[in-house]
Amino acid sequence: MEVGLSAAFTLPVRVYYEDTDAGGVVYHANYLRFMERARSEWLSHLKLEHGPLAAEHDTLFVVRAAQIEYLRPARLSDLLQVEVAIRQIRRSAIVFAQHIRCGEHLLVTGEITVVAVSASRFRPCAVPPPVLAALQPWLPPA
């Protein structure tokens, strides 16, 4: 996974006691929660709310794959920056590149693939045109 990321969106996240394990560091699965939160907040910022997408376009997004690399631990009270960028958009999938930093230190890198599925049938479907239009300016150069 790449070290540099030109993030389209960054969400600050404070590490709380509930996020840590017995060793006082962020429990590994919680980094996925932080990444999910950042993707959801970015979509909300772009006026792409999950509820209306399901109601108006019969579309949900589900995680199909997650590749995570843990480089350094985050600790209680750290202020993290959770970055999101688009790596690729396919007919029914969006691949996100995500980084989690604490100050200048890169802690975690990830590549998360989400798939558009019909809310009524839970079968893959095309990414809706309004989503494509909103994300188009954030696509990496070809």
List all residues 6 or more positions away from 62 whose beta carbon is below 8 Å from its beta carbon: 114, 115, 117
Establish whether 78 is a catalytic residue.
no
| Whether the Cβ atoms of residue 116 and residue 124 lie closer than 8 Å to each other | yes
The residue among 115, 113, 112, 142 whose CA lies nearest residue 128 is 115
Q: H-helix or E-strand containing 129?
A: helix 129-135
HSE value, Cβ hemisphere, 13 Å, CA-based, for 19: 19
- Catalytic residue numbers read 21
